Each structure stands twice: as C-alpha cells, then as structure tokens.
Amino acid sequence: MDAHWTEAEFDPVGDQVEPTIPVLRPRLPSAEQLLPYLRRIDATRLYTSWGPLALELEERLCRRFSLPLGGVASAGSGTSALTAAILAAAPGRGAGRRRLAIVPALTFVATAAAAESCGCTLRIADVDSETWQLDPERVAARADLDEVAIVIPVAPFGRPVPQTTWLEFRQQTGIPVVIDGAATFETATGQEGILGELPVAMSFHATKAFATGEGGCVASTETGLVEQIGQALNFGFSGSRDSATPSLNGKLSEYHAAVGLAELEGWNAKQEATARVLDLYRERFNRLGLQDRLVCAPEVASLYVLFRAGTQREANNVAASLAENCVSHRLWYGAGLQTHTHFAGCLSDPLPVTEELAPRLLGLPFALDLDKRAVERIGAAVTHGVGRR
C-alpha cells in the first residue's frame, strides 16, 4: 500500500494503521518536462565535461544571481563543489604549520568531509547562539590562527552567511574563507551581500529547494577564482590534457543539467506551492500558540520546517509523540558534527551552544503537496509532545 497522507484516515483499532507522513518528499521536474532537454542530449551526444546544457545552466544561474558571466561553476554535487572551492582558494592547505580547517559543529558532515579530503586537519568550533554560525570576531581572536589553512563558515539550514564580516576577517588575517552555502539558492537570489568575492558552494541535491537530483555549484564575483574551481573539478585540466592543479572529478552531467534547466522553468510554480504549505504551517502553529517555536522560510531555506523545542526533554517528548502518530522527523545535523563516529576524535573547542541547540531543532515534514489535514496532524502531535511532563 502506498503510504500517502492524503488517503482516507484508517481505523487504528482494525488491522490498518495511519499512513506515515515522511519527513521529506521532493518533487523534481516530470519526464514530460525533461523530454525537450533529453532530446537535445540525444542530438549532441555530449553527456558531461561542460556540455551545452551545463553551460546554459551556468549562464542562467549567473543572471539569476546577478553575477558576471563566468561567476558560476557547476558541479556534480554540493560536496564536490565545496571540495573544489577549498582546493582553489587555499593552495598549500595542510602543508607545514598551516593545516587546520575551522569548521562549525552545527553542520552536515559533508562540510567536514570536503575539508578532510583536501588534506586539512579539522578543528571543530562552536557557533553563535543567535545566528547558529561561526562568529568571525571569535575566530579572529583564536590563539591558533598561525596553524589555520582555511575557515569554512556554514549557512545552517540555508540561513545566509553575510560576506562583509568574513571579507574583513580574510583581509585582517590573510586566511582564505570558503562559504558552505548548501541550501542558500533562494537567499542568494533575494538578498544583497550574500554573494560576492568569497566563493559560496551550493547543493542541488534532491533535498534542496532548487534541485537537479544530484549536483551543485560554486558562485563568486571573482571569475578568475571560479575558473580555477572549474579546473579543480576537472582533473586539473584547463585547455589541455595536463593535470596542473590539485583536483577531483566533480563535473555536472548533461542529464542533471537538464533537470536544472527544467527546474528553473517551473521555479515560480514550485515557489507558489511551497508558500502554500508554509502558510498552512504558520496558520496551524499560530492557532496552537506555538508560532514562536516554528522556524521556516524566509528565516531558513523553504524545505526546512523546524520545531525549536525549549529543552532537551521537551525535544525528546515531541519526537516520541511524532513517532507514535506516524509522523517522521529528523535532526538534520544530528546532535552536532562532534558526535559522529568518524569525527569524534577530531580537534575540538568546547561546544556548549551546539550541544544544547542541535538536539532541540526537530525537522518536521515538508512536501509540495502536503495538505491541511496532514499539517493539522503534525501540529497535534507536536502539541501533545509539548504538553507531556
């Protein structure tokens, strides 16, 4: 049986049970929407290595982001985009004393994996309790700056990282900065100061608002740097078969570029559907008196709907209530980077903010076709959990 929340309610006393509401059900362009682009691929017989569709997608993204042509390098994933940006922005990373990559504890593991794959030694730092991000002033005051190869501020849940203060940090310290803006596609098109000189790596994974299934890009006003990032994504090749720089194979395929182009065509309709679902959430949580606990767009990226529990105990109660009511939820960043087996032994600062905050940010379900009845059920489960003692 297809477990979908718009089906009729089941009798919990009988053999059937309430269908589970999944935490996320992405919807990408349909086969019909993709067909014109697939036919273009058939005609060119070019499938990767910056074929015409990938180049067209980069061009259209430059216009959307108000960047100069050449200001976007497409990539096969958000992680490969970030990895290539680190390789290009921090030559000599991991060499001599300068070996540390400062990464926040409140992030997805891809941030740390990218830095580690570039030869850096991780140093996990705490985040600010208000912004949920690295604080550039606190990083600038560190005693180990002469060991730092790169700093990677993260846009948590798509909360954008302002460039100005990090540009000042780079000028003051000489340390390269690459921004992990995995979920910032929407804010990058709508706010000033989010894109600029510092490279911003984005993910186009299916879990993101703008998605190609798998993919990503790096965006910057510094087109020379973007060109170097493109070279790093292509075995270090640039106009020849000579591998001249540190590199990986991280190019976006023409098939994923086709999805991206179709996604741009349907973007306005997708945003309208997204707004409808978020309005349902706001209305329901307002009626429940929990509107101040709901964190959603525009504060974060539109596919993240977060419930901010007041305490760890309340978070546990809400999580239990959601599970009992067949409502999926997720701690998108787990309890922090430092709790993952592979990263538990990394160098780390004290992490009081992350340790207290991360387990309280419960990701609630989102889908473009989530209906009122489903949101009411989610709200009822959250309310029941909040009321437990």
Instruction: Express each pLDDT in 362-378 by its tens digit.
Output: 999 999 999 999 999 99
**pLDDT of 191:** 74
pLDDT for 261 equals 98
Residue 189 has pLDDT above 50, yes or no: yes
Q: So what's the pLDDT on residue 389?
A: 57
pLDDT at position 284, please?
A: 97
Would you state the pLDDT for residue 193? 77
42-46, 74-78, 98-102, 291-295: range with lowest mean pLDDT: 98-102
Measured between alpha carbons, how far is 167 from 162 in angstroms, rounded to an integer? 9
For the chain, give the percent of residues with pLDDT over 70: 94
- Choose among 330, 343, 90, 48: nearest CA to 199: 90
- Euclidean distance between CA atoms 353 and 222, whole angstroms: 34
What pLDDT is attached to residue 5? 37
Q: Residue 96's pLDDT is what?
A: 67
**Which pLDDT belongs to residue 140?**
97
Mean pLDDT score, 10-26: 68
Over residues 198-224, the mean pLDDT reads 97
Tokens at residue 127, please? Answer: 């985040």
Residue-level pLDDT at 2:
32
Averaged pLDDT for residues 269-283: 97
- Nearest to 134, CA basis, from 356, 363, 351, 359: 351
CB 142 within 8 A of CB 173: no
Please check the confidence at residue 1 and state whether its pLDDT lies above 60.
no
How confident is residue 91, by pLDDT bands cut at 50, 70 and 90? confident
Output the average pLDDT for the chain. 93
**92 vs 221: which has the higher pLDDT:** 221
For 352-365, the pLDDT digits (tens) are 999 999 999 999 99
pLDDT of 320 higher than 70: yes
Q: What is the pTM of this model?
A: 0.93
User: Rounded to whole angstroms, how far apart are CA atoms 102 and 149?
Assistant: 8
SS3 state of residue 292: helix
Average pLDDT over residues 248-266: 98
The answer to whether 172 and 287 have CB atoms below 8 angstroms apart is no
